[in-house]
Structure 1
């Protein structure tokens, strides 16, 4: 009778908690430096918590995820899949898009820590709209997806179940961000020193993101 199994090499909850605490400490120190050397301000606690949760989940997931042994060909394929996945997420959320052609150039907005410095760029081909915490989080997801691809090569197709579950979770983590980013760009937009609103869309995206990281870190298999 088949069922779900998880990585037996995953560390204990205390080890995961230790990594999370260290990550929060490092983020707090970097945020303090950022506030001292720039004119950025703070935001509501809920707004700050969203960015800290994303970065902390990313650090814990990447640090504790199991890394199967893989040959160069598998590493190359897994890397390509991971990068492609990250680019698709960026496109879905509006972080990467086609050039609008309206205001060419680079703009850096000093939003609160981990929301800023937010980078906006509009070139001849592509445009970018990047919050640091989202860029960090999507990079972590891309890496974890590449590990799921290596699982399939090492353990067979049953090892890809966790990746499929997480891909579904990430669709739900990306779509709320689309609405939130569209809202932030509408009306007056994001001006220098303003803080983005942390509405229900960002909270939903954060919950789905944490689930996705958790599944991709544990990566359950059928067996």
Structure 2
């Protein structure tokens, strides 16, 4: 009977933990600076934890993901795929959308750290509604997807297992995030409490961490 071994690309636990601690420290310093220089306030610990988890996961994933050796043309294709994935995810979640109506221009809202400064832009051809932590999260996923593409090119189809699972799991981020954006744009106000009502953002956060973990480890069936 044939046996299959699954290989995971994960760094040393101590190194991963050290990166996470440094990421938390940096976020704390940035949050204090933001609060000291703006009129933004704070939110409940649960609400504040959402962006902290996203950013920490993003930093750990980007720092510890294995970077396959690839030719220039493969890297170029992988970069295009990663950018397309990031833009597509932003579109699906409502962060980037068709214009809402009359062009309202640029608006910046000073929400609690990592929820703000929230950038809202409504132009003639596109609308943007982006929390800082989500911009970091999407960028990290786009980069990790590009690494997965390079992995597939180097190792064959078995390496795609991690990418497929991660893409599927992060698709679960879409509905909760769209619900949160819709509640704000629909007149529920810009308060973070309305944006994260219920369990939707908890679900999205779990889906995001799972996506980053799988794209970072990129399990390969051998």
TM-score in terms of structure 1 length? 0.94
Question: Where does 1:15-34 land on structure 2 (aligned, <5 Å)?
Answer: 15-34=15-34
Question: Where does 1:156-171 land on structure 2 (aligned, <5 Å)?
Answer: 156-171=156-171
Match in the other structure for 1:114: 114
Q: Structure 1: any 5+ residue segments left out of the alignment?
A: none
Distance 1:96 1:11 in 2: 34
Preserved contact between residue 148 and residue 219 of structure 1 (Cα < 8 Å): yes
* 1:12 aligns to 2:29 (yes or no): no
* 1:75 aligns to 2:72 (yes or no): no
Distance 1:180 1:4 in 2: 41
How far apart are residue 101 of structure 1 and its match? 2.3
Distance 1:95 1:168 in 2: 19
How far apart are residue 182 of structure 1 and its match? 1.2
SS of alignment partner, residue 125 of structure 1? coil
Structure 1 residues 156 and 106, CA, compared in 2 at 3 Å: closer, same or farther? same
SS of alignment partner, residue 113 of structure 1? coil
SS of alignment partner, residue 101 of structure 1? coil
* 1:49 aligns to 2:55 (yes or no): no
How far apart are residue 176 of structure 1 and its match? 1.4
Q: Structure 2: any 5+ residue segments left out of the alignment?
A: none
Structure 1 residues 201 and 4, CA, compared in 2 at 3 Å: closer, same or farther? farther
Distance 2:72 2:193 in 1: 43
Distance 1:49 1:36 in 2: 20
Match in the other structure for 1:195: 192
RMSD: 1.2
TM-score in terms of structure 2 length? 0.95
Question: Where does 1:44-193 land on structure 2 (aligned, <5 Å)?
Answer: 44-190=44-190
Give the count of matched residue pairs.
Answer: 219
Structure 1 residues 131 and 2, CA, compared in 2 at 3 Å: closer, same or farther? farther
SS of alignment partner, residue 187 of structure 1? helix
Distance 2:158 2:3 in 1: 11
SS of alignment partner, residue 120 of structure 2? strand
Moved over 3 A (4+): none
